[in-house]
Amino acid sequence: MPTQLDLPVAFDTKRLDQKFHAALARATASLSPASCLLAFFDWAMHLAVSPGKQVELLRLAREETVEWNCYLRDTCNARCAEHHACVEPAEHDRRFDAPEWQTWPFAAWQQAFLLTEK
């Protein structure tokens, strides 16, 4: 039984690493996956030892959920009549310019996205 991996003698391991790193850079916009993971774990650890921040984030999530539910209720009650959005996109934000974003169900998705983004 061989003890080493049987590779051709001419197998260029440095070239393999270069190709892999180039593909990884293209896939991650040249951001190091290790750096991203370290930043995430740093944030998660700080959040884990900050119960006040956890409560604040939960309160914000609850408020925005209630706001979105009220929007859905008002939209359903209006039956295609005019209704007010909970959140308007920023003036420079052109992602929701298409008129389809103002119709059901896309309007609900738009509002959920904007509330989450807020």
Domain boundaries defined on the chain: 13-49, 51-118
Is it the case that residue 75 has pLDDT exceeding 70? yes
Between CA 71 and CA 83 the distance in angstroms is 8
How much is the pLDDT for 17?
93
- Report whether 83 contacts 74 (CB < 8 A): yes
pLDDT in tens, 1-33: 555 666 566 678 899 999 999 999 999 998 999
What pTM did the predictor assign?
Answer: 0.57
Asked, as a colleague might, if the bond just before 89 is cis with ω within 30 of 0, I would say no
- Report whether 70 contacts 112 (CB < 8 A): no
> How many C-alpha atoms does 61 have within 13 Å on its Cβ side?
6
